[in-house]
Amino acid sequence: MSEGEEAPAPTFDWIPAGGESLADGEYDAIVLGTGLTECIISGLLSVRGLKVLHMDRNNYYGAEAASLNLNDLFQKFRGVQPPAVLGRANDYNVDLIPKFIMACGNLVKILLHTKVTRYLNFKVIDGSYVYKSGRILKVPATPTEALNSSLMGMFEKRRFRKFLIYMSEYEENNPATHEGRDLNRISMRRLFEEFGLDDNTASFVGHAMALRTDDTFMDRPAIETVRELQLYCYSLERYGKSPYIYPVYGLGGLPEGFSRLCAIHGGVYMLNTPVDELLTDSTGQVWGVRSGNQYARASMVIGDPSYFPSHKVRRVGQVVRSICVLDHPIANTENAESTQVVIPAAQVNRNHDIYVCMVSSAHEVAPRGKFVAIVSTTVETANPLNELRPGIELLGSIVERFDSVSDLYEPTDDGRSDRCFISKSYDATSHFETTSDDVLSLYRRILGEELDMNISADTTETDD
C-alpha cells in the first residue's frame, strides 16, 4: 500500500485517529535503528522470507556503529569544520565504536552464512599486543613465540609452551588428548595451576587471547576458555600477523552490507524517520509503531535500546571512549599500520580492561601519514576520562582528540511476551565477539531456533 493511501481497519485495539499507513503498512517485523546488530538481524530475517520495515531516526546507516568522515566527526563533537591541515574530509572513515573482527569467529561465520562478504573487502590487522609493567609486548600464541616472548621469565616460558601445546592438541571428542582432565568439570583456575602458570600469565591469556571481559572466567569450566583460546590461535594461524580482520573503509560498511542484503530480499528502509511511539494492545503486546501521523503494523518490533521506553531497558554501566587522530603509529608495535593493545585491568589496578585499537590508510580510513586510535574502557569512577590515561599515554602526541561517555543498556526481559526484542549497547571491548553473541541470542529469541553456524570460517572469501 503506498503512502497516503487509506489503510483498511486493523484488528488491533487502537489506531491513531486520522493516521496514514507508513510505507505499505503491514510487515512481519519492524526493526528500529541501523546499528550493526539490527542490520544483521534484519538481513537474516529477510533471507528467511519475513517482510521487514527498517527505520532509523538518523539520515545515515550505522547508528552508534557508523563511520564518519572528518566533517561529520567535527560536527558531531564540536559543531565546527575541521582544520585544513588534517587533509581531505572524505579520506577519513572514523568509527564511533571501535571493533575488530576475529578472523574465524562468529561474525565472520554470519558474514559467510549470508554472503555479505560479496559487498565488502577485508584486510588483516597487523598486530595484537598486551600491556605489562608499562611496556607493550606482542601476544604469543604459538609454542615458538612463547619461548621468545618478553612477557615471561625463562621457566614460565617453558610452562606456558607446554600449556599451548596441550591446548592446541586438545579435542573435545577425543579423550586421548585430554591427559586425564575433564575440562567441563575443572575450573580455568585449576587448569592454570596444573601447568604451574602464574597470575600474570593467566591474566594475559584470559584477557588478551580468550578476550574475557573480567576475571569470572577463572572459576568457570575450563572448556569455555579453552575454546576461545583455540579460536584465537586458529584465527592467528589464518593470516599470521594477528587474529583480527577489519573492513576496508571502516566498520560502517558492515551495517550497509547487511542493509543491502535485506533490501535485495524485499526489505523497506526509511532513514531520517523518527519513531514517536510503540503501539501496544491492552495486554502490552506490541503491534506496530507510529511516526508523526503515520503508522506501521507488525507482529514484532526489534531495535536498539534508545528506541524503547525506560521500563523495557535497564542501565548497566557506562563506557568511555576517546577517538584520537595521530601523525605516527603507536610506539613499540613494530611501526604497525593497524593494531590492538589490551591493557589487562590488573596491570593498572582496575576492574575492567582498557582497549586500544588503531587503524590507518592501510584500511582507507585516514589519509597517508595519519592514524586513528581509539581508547575505550568501562567506567568505574566519577572521572571517566582519567580512566583512559594508561591507554592515552601509549599514543604519544595527539593531533586531535574526541571524547565521549555513553550509557550501556540491556533489555529487562527476553521479549517473548511483549514481542519487543531489544539489543544490548555496544560495550568497551575492541572486538565483535560480544556483539556476535547478542545477535545469536536475538535470533534465537525471535525465531525460537538457533542460527545454523555449521559453516567454516576458513575460506578465501575474507582474504585480502
Residues 291 and 329 in one domain: no
State how far the Cα of 122 lies from the Cα of 105, in Å rounded to an integer. 14
Examine the fold and report which residue of 239, 273, 295 is the final residue of a domain before the chain moves on.
239
User: 277 in a domain, yes or no?
Assistant: yes
Residues 347 and 439 in one domain: no
- pLDDT score recorded for residue 2: 37
**CA proximity to 359, closest of 372, 341, 377:** 372
- pLDDT score recorded for residue 7: 34
pLDDT digits (tens, 9 = 90+) for 380-431: 999 999 999 999 999 999 999 999 999 999 999 999 999 999 999 999 988 8
Residues 267 and 144 in one domain: no
Residues 357 and 403 in one domain: yes
Is the distance from CB of 358 to CB of 322 less than 8 angstroms? no
Residues 321 and 403 in one domain: yes
State how far the Cα of 118 lies from the Cα of 130, in Å rounded to an integer. 33
Residues 435 and 297 in one domain: yes
- Could you tell me the CATH number of the domain that includes residue 367? 3.30.519.10
Please state which of the ranges 145-149, 446-450, 456-460 shows the lowest mean pLDDT: 456-460
Residues 288 and 377 in one domain: no
Residues 322 and 443 in one domain: no
Sign of CA dihedral 285, 291, 297, 300: negative
User: 164 in a domain, yes or no?
Assistant: yes
Backbone phi and psi for residue 53, each to the nearest 5 degrees, phi listed first: -110, 125
- pLDDT score recorded for residue 21: 57
In sequence order, which residues have a C-beta less than 8 Å from that of residue 166 and are 6 or more positions away?
A: 179, 195
- 91, three cell numbers: 579520506
Residues 56 and 114 in one domain: no
- Could you tell me the CATH number of the domain that includes residue 441? 3.50.50.60
Residues 319 and 360 in one domain: yes
State how far the Cα of 140 lies from the Cα of 235, in Å rounded to an integer. 13
Helices (H), 135-207: 143-148, 154-169, 188-194, 199-204
Residues 277 and 420 in one domain: yes
- Could you tell me the CATH number of the domain that includes residue 146? 1.10.405.10
User: 45 in a domain, yes or no?
Assistant: yes
User: 145 in a domain, yes or no?
Assistant: yes
User: 395 in a domain, yes or no?
Assistant: yes
State how far the Cα of 211 lies from the Cα of 207, in Å rounded to an integer. 5
Range of the domain at 218: 138-239
Q: Is the pLDDT of residue 177 over 60?
A: yes
Give the model's confidence band at 454: pLDDT under 50 very low, under 70 low, under 90 confident, else very high. confident
User: 12 in a domain, yes or no?
Assistant: no
User: 378 in a domain, yes or no?
Assistant: yes
- pLDDT score recorded for residue 25: 76
Higher pLDDT, residue 398 or 113: 398
Examine the fold and report which residue of 239, 271, 297 is the final residue of a domain before the chain moves on.
239
pLDDT digits (tens, 9 = 90+) for 213-248: 888 999 999 999 999 999 998 898 888 788 999 999
Strand partners, 400: 325
> Average of pLDDT values for 27-50?
95
pLDDT digits (tens, 9 = 90+) for 330-345: 999 989 999 999 999 9
**CA proximity to 219, closest of 182, 181, 190, 183:** 190
> Average of pLDDT values for 360-382?
96
Residues 328 and 290 in one domain: no
Examine the fold and report which residue of 205, 239, 273 is the final residue of a domain before the chain moves on.
239
Q: Is the pLDDT of residue 13 over 80?
A: no
In sequence order, which residues have a C-beta less than 8 Å from that of residue 76 and are 6 or more positions away?
A: 68
Q: What total of structural domains would you count in the chain?
A: 3
> Average of pLDDT values for 10-25?
45
Q: What is the pTM of this model?
A: 0.87
b/e map of 287-310 (b: 16 or more CB within 10 Å)? bbbbbeebbbbbebbbbbbbbbee
User: 363 in a domain, yes or no?
Assistant: yes
